[in-house]
Amino acid sequence: MNSVQITEQKNTVTVNETTNTITVTEGIAATVQISTEGPQGPAISGVNFDISGKVNDAILYYHAASDTIKADNTTTKLTLVDGGNF
């Protein structure tokens, strides 16, 4: 079990009886975000990945001959847009 305790003084009121003054000092608001990791999901099974030839802007594609999902220089954003084989 995780436990977090935060104590923050936001405002201070000071009364000076000699000068008959009241001073209110405002604190700075703070936001705290706490998160914990959830349980690990199931592992991917039955899928082979080959990203050994990855390049900038590579797009994942399925290569049937090797039954592999690949990312390499044969399919990139540029090859699809500039003279791509549609």
pTM: 0.45
- Tokens found for residue 67: 């039954």
Q: Measured between alpha carbons, how far is 53 from 33 in angstroms, rounded to an integer?
A: 39
Angle among Cα 29, 30, 35 to the nearest 5 degrees reads 155
Q: Helix and strand tally (H, E) in the chain?
A: 1, 5
Instruction: Express as a percent the part of the chain with pLDDT over 70.
Output: 77
Residues in the chain: 86
User: Is 68 a residue whose pLDDT tops 90?
Assistant: yes
The pLDDT value recorded for residue 58 is: 93
Domain ranges for the chain: 49-81
More confidently predicted of 79 and 65:
65
- Is residue 9 within a helix (H) or strand (E), and if so which, with residue range? none
User: Is 61 a residue whose pLDDT tops 70?
Assistant: yes
Q: Measured between alpha carbons, how far is 70 from 52 in angstroms, rounded to an integer?
A: 8
User: Is 36 a residue whose pLDDT tops 90?
Assistant: no
